[in-house]
Structure 1
Amino acid sequence: MTRTFFVTGTNTEVGKTYTTAALLQAAKEQGLKTAAVKPVASGCEQTPAGLRNSDALTLMEAMTEEMPYEQVNPIALEPAIAPHIAAMEAGRRLDPSRLVGICRGVMSNKSDLVLIEGAGGWRVPLAPRQFLSDLPRALELPVIMVVSMELGCINHALLTAEAIHRDGLKLAGWVANFVRTPKAEMPRADENLMTLRAILPAPCLGELDFDASGDYRNGAAHLDLSPLLSSCN
């Protein structure tokens, strides 16, 4: 059975790709077939093959199944700015229904685990009245939330969890990511973690300490996939 999850963050630059790739690596080490999608990516570079996004390329490296780049990252935008603004400047229209179709295609490929990584936080606009959160809503996907462990993380995590719940989706799990500084340097890190574990309505899948190398393989050993693999979509 294919299990599919949407990965969001409490903000932009919280280590969603590192976490998503680490989850894929952990699944691979358990012998699972994996696939991933980065539906919308801004901050892409021009290459001979076209626009390419480093996050999408990382996901392609981490997953076990081979897919064309355009299926992994169907919307590639060059400026590293909000996707709806980048699309407007490029004269493009971001169509959530097209993204739904692409994601459904990946979900039907008989992988054991499919991860769909969002862009920025939960409520990222695609158009005046459309948001990237409309994608997991249309697909009725459970959500994995990446929490950036820093001052304000409790508020950001709770607001994001509340928005996910209001949209009718299940928070399947969350990951504590010390993306900016090592855990040892964050004041009251353990107390913040204890509060999040007590209040968030989902299991913590693991703690990822600051990794200067940026190698997601280092994070895989610190993640517990069992709450995800035992759940049903």
Structure 2
Amino acid sequence: MVNKVFITGTDTAVGKTVVSLALLQMLQQQEIVCAGYKPLSQNAQLTEQGLQCADAQLLKQASTIELHYDRVNPYPFTGSEVSTGSITTFNEQNLTEGMSYIETQVERLVIEGTGGWHSRINTQNPLSDWVIKHKIPVILVVGIKLGCINHAILTAESILQQGGELVGWVANRINPGLEEYQQLIALLTQHISAPKIGEIPYISHAHQKNLASYFNIDPLAHFFSH
């Protein structure tokens, strides 16, 4: 039984958090105990409780169990992918132990990546190496915009070439004025070997909405059942 999935994207700011929240919402509707996990985060801000990332806070709120922020996001970085934040290294063993801890508390775990599949934090190895090592099934989020076909196909191919399991992809419309939207969806459907499991229209403040209706859970039925 698969009890976790990893959410990656074609790039940063393509909707990984939105898709992660949508999956958690769907699990809640099935009355499945679930939680979100963001091992590494970028652009964290200093709060009264320490460094915290807005995306990780949303995952924490969407989880069905109460978790301390540090459990949801053990490594918050103040910088971006190539800049130096307050934390300059991370320990893979800590990531694994953090994942295992939450797994003992829930039935399903949604793990959100940072940036794209090969994104690095402060020039370290990409998080994708850790995902492949632990054989975590992957869902690819494609931000629908001009240029996304190349990014999506290359990312999907890379996941498979590394030995990863690409269980599906999600189209997230981030440009409401894109005239070629339907053509892009058709091309992506034709060239990505995994099924399209969701299609999210452009929605203002999407993280505040119920997004479950935009998904087809059939390809992931085993993940959304007890």
Does the alignment reach a TM-score above 0.5? yes
Tell me the CA shift for residue 129 of structure 1.
Answer: 5.5
Q: Segments of 4+ in structure 1 off by > 4 A? A: none
Q: TM-score, normalised by structure 2?
A: 0.91
**CA distance in structure 1 between the aligned counterparts of 2:181 and 2:53, rounded to whole angstroms:** 32
Contact 2:167 2:194 in 1 (8 A): yes
Correspondence for 1:107:
103
Correspondence for 2:39:
39
Which one of 91, 97, 102 corresponds to residue 95 of structure 1?
Answer: 91
* One-letter amino acid of the structure 1 residue matched with residue 167 of structure 2: A
Q: Once the two structures are superposed, what CA deviation does each residue of 1:4-23 show, in whole Å capped at 9, x if it has no partner?
A: 11100000010110111011
Provide the aligned C-alpha RMSD in A.
1.9
SS of equivalent to 1:21? helix
Which one of 177, 190, 196 corresponds to residue 204 of structure 1?
Answer: 196
**CA distance in structure 2 between the aligned counterparts of 1:41 and 1:231, rounded to whole angstroms:** 25
Structure 1 residue runs of 5 or longer lacking an equivalent are none
**CA distance in structure 1 between the aligned counterparts of 2:166 and 2:157, rounded to whole angstroms:** 9
Correspondence for 1:120:
115
Correspondence for 2:222:
230
**CA distance in structure 2 between the aligned counterparts of 1:225 and 1:8, rounded to whole angstroms:** 18
Tell me the CA shift for residue 128 of structure 1.
Answer: 4.6
**CA distance in structure 2 between the aligned counterparts of 1:104 and 1:33, rounded to whole angstroms:** 15
SS of equivalent to 1:218? coil
Tell me the CA shift for residue 204 of structure 1.
Answer: 0.8
Q: Percent identity?
A: 33
**CA distance in structure 2 between the aligned counterparts of 1:126 and 1:78, rounded to whole angstroms:** 11
* One-letter amino acid of the structure 1 residue matched with residue 42 of structure 2: S
Aligned length: 224
* One-letter amino acid of the structure 2 residue matched with residue 227 of structure 1: P
Q: Once the two structures are superposed, what CA deviation does each residue of 1:128-185 show, in whole Å capped at 9, x if it has no partner?
A: 5621111211211110000000111111110000111121111011100002x22xx3
Q: Does 1:144 align with 2:136?
A: no
**CA distance in structure 2 between the aligned counterparts of 1:9 and 1:91, rounded to whole angstroms:** 23
